[in-house]
Amino acid sequence: MTSLSRARVARRIAAGAAYGGGGIGLVGAATIGLVLAEVQLAKRHVGNGHSPHAPSADGLYGYAYADSSEPPLRLAMLGDSTAAGQGVHRSRQTPGALIASGLAAVAERPVELRNVALPGAQSDDLDRQVVLILADPSRVPDVCVIMIGANDVTHRMPATRSVRHLSSAVRRLRTAGAEVVVGTCPDLGTVEQVQQPLRWLARRASRQLAAAQTIGTVEQGGRTVSMGDLLGPEFEANPREMFGPDNYHPSAEGYATAAMAVLPTVCAALGLWPAEEERPDVSRREGFLPVARAAAEAASEPGTEVTAAMPTGPRGPWALLKRRRRRRLPATDPAPAGSP
């Protein structure tokens, strides 16, 4: 499928989500049913001798900066098992802890992390998670990171419904004053137990949803980072290193790879990235595109960021496509109870 074709499909899904349509699927019901069967077979290994729960990583990071004159930044994680960090054993190995530690180092101030992500969640659970995050109006997060989508594909949630829930969550968080960064649907074609040709179908479904998620997020004022093709080639090349013990969720190294891609966008959303790096770099094939075209490009490019850039024009809203450089992140545990 060409980039223009992917853009058209993504735009149809996003439009269906915005206007209440529900009949646009990712791929044919029969084929996605086969993908579902294969992935569910693969997931039988999940929890086989391993905890189905993710380690709690809530707390204060960067407490070495506790003497800063500025209050801690507030970071919230929402989404599914990927956002929660299922598959690793230590708090510091979860993506939330890694992003919080990296953000504290860049901002040189503490970061307070709250993670309400739920393993197994689909996009319709974001409504509940947003309520939890916004329950106290005096403690609205400075930035929220959402990772969601894989369970929507494997449970055959209509793409329009999936994007509708995500768009609503982004809108509510942005209205409350939080910046929002969405890690789009990961590449299910990297799961080893899914065989060809179903692996190709799983990859296609994942990319279609990721592109539609990008449009829905950007139109509500959020930013996205492509997760599927960021992790896909690395997971395929190094499955023993990048997958965890359950052969389904990422390993500590896999989560670190994802967190390294998300951190620059989180920092940019908070105005912490150097101004010169916010300008498009033509040598890195960055630039302004209609949002649907940018979404399709991002779904096929590792770690690509998409953010709103211009008002609506003849070809719809425009977006800035960025390919940011990843940064190695410090791995730390939250501050002990009672720390300042």
- Give the SS3 label for residue 224: strand
- Spatial distance between the Cα atoms of 75 and 84, rounded to a whole number of angstroms: 13
Q: What is the DSSP letter of 250?
A: B
What are the CA-CA distances from residue 337 to residues 54, 58, 89, 334 (Å)?
A: 20, 11, 20, 9
- Spatial distance between the Cα atoms of 4 and 249, rounded to a whole number of angstroms: 32
Of the residues 125, 142, 229, 246, which is catalytic? 246
Bridge partners of residue 115, in order along the sequence:
77
Nearest partner of 82 among 221, 197, 235, judged by Cα: 235
81 is catalytic: yes
On the CB side of 83, CA atoms within 13 Å amount to 32
Q: Token digits for 133? A: 């995050």
Contact criterion met (CB below 8 Å) for 300 and 6: yes
| Torsion over CA: 81, 306, 127, 56 (sign) | positive
Contact criterion met (CB below 8 Å) for 288 and 218: no
Give the Cβ contact number of residue 172 at 10 Å. Answer: 18
Contact criterion met (CB below 8 Å) for 294 and 263: no
Of the residues 81, 91, 162, 251, which is catalytic? 81
Contact criterion met (CB below 8 Å) for 192 and 247: yes
136 is catalytic: no
**Interior angle at CA 135, CA 169 and CA 76, nearest 5:** 60
Strand order in the sheet with 305-313: 59-61, 111-115, 73-79, 143-147, 179-183, 223-225, 305-313, 316-322, 287-290
246 is catalytic: yes
Catalytic residue annotation: 81, 246, 249
